Amino acid sequence: MSKIVIEVGKQMDGATFRLSPKTRVFLSSRVKNLPPPSSVFVSREIPSDIEQYYVLGDHLAMILTGLGENDLKKLGGFEFVTPVDGKVVFESTPAR
């Protein structure tokens, strides 16, 4: 697996983020006690472009995986994809 894949779906008042099924299986084989949240919903009072949520990317990835920032980098980072077509809409910055 090259990156942690987080599926993102936009809704009228926010966006829902969840680990892809393949990522969940991959992590459960490597990480004991995978955290229970299957998804995280972030709401906004004013509808906005999905891009405004990406500032929370690191935090969302840590919540969903239970991993720290360094562990995420060691696994290749993460990306947000749309679940319908698999389009990558955001990628974490690779470690330098």
Considering the domain boundaries, does residue 96 fall inside one? Answer: no
Considering the domain boundaries, does residue 65 fall inside one? Answer: yes
Considering the domain boundaries, does residue 17 fall inside one? Answer: yes
Considering the domain boundaries, does residue 83 fall inside one? Answer: yes
Considering the domain boundaries, does residue 49 fall inside one? Answer: yes
Comparing CA positions, the residue from 29, 66, 60, 68 lying closest to residue 79 is 60
Asked if the model's pLDDT at residue 62 lies above 80, the reply is yes
Considering the domain boundaries, does residue 82 fall inside one? Answer: yes
Element containing residue 67 per DSSP (H, E): none
Considering the domain boundaries, does residue 61 fall inside one? Answer: yes
Total number of domains constituting the chain: 1
Considering the domain boundaries, does residue 40 fall inside one? Answer: yes
Full residue range of the structural domain in which residue 46 is found = 4-91
Asked if the model's pLDDT at residue 54 lies above 80, the reply is no
The partner residues of 11 in beta bridges, in order of sequence, read: 14
| 17-47 residue pLDDT tens | 999 999 988 888 877 776 667 899 988 776 5
